[in-house]
Amino acid sequence: MVDQVVVLDDRRPSYEELAAENAALRGMVSELRDVVESLRAEVADLKRQLGQNSRNSSKPPSSDGLAKPVRKSLRGRTGRKPGGQAGHSGSTLAQVADPDEVVRQEPDRCRGCGEGLAGAPASGVERRQVFDAADPGASD
């Protein structure tokens, strides 16, 4: 490993040297402040230009791009989760005891193995009712 020798200057800088360096640094600070101010003005102008669209300037709608503006709801948040609330008993349309028509649909073959199901006991029953809405144009 090579030893590096650092020679320190033992002399102290004079008052004039320090004053000259201070003046130079103050000049640089002043120039940099001017640059920062001009850059801030430029950034503000660019942000203003980015915020313009056909709704808030004289630009044509074709310059808006493909993104649609986000709609903001005027309603505030309630704190509830969307959907049915906990503890609320739901209600469904009750089935009629004696429907107009009953259609039995029984499979004749097993869906899994294809074997016939004639005489096999039922493994499950599903009941469904279909309600036809009245034709709004027909009146009696």
pLDDT in tens, the chain (140 residues): 556 666 666 788 899 999 999 999 999 999 999 999 999 999 999 999 888 888 888 989 888 888 887 888 888 888 888 888 888 888 888 888 888 888 888 888 888 888 888 888 888 888 888 888 877 776 65
102 within some domain: no
End-to-end CA distance of the chain: 110
- In this structure, is residue 23 part of a structural domain? yes
Pairwise CA distance, residues 49 & 43, whole Å? 10
Residue 47 domain-assigned (yes or no): yes
The model's pTM is: 0.39
> Does residue 57 lie within any of the structural domains?
no
Which domain does 25 fall in, by range?
Answer: 15-51
| 27 located within any domain | yes
Domain count, the chain: 1
Query: Is 97 inside a domain boundary?
Result: no
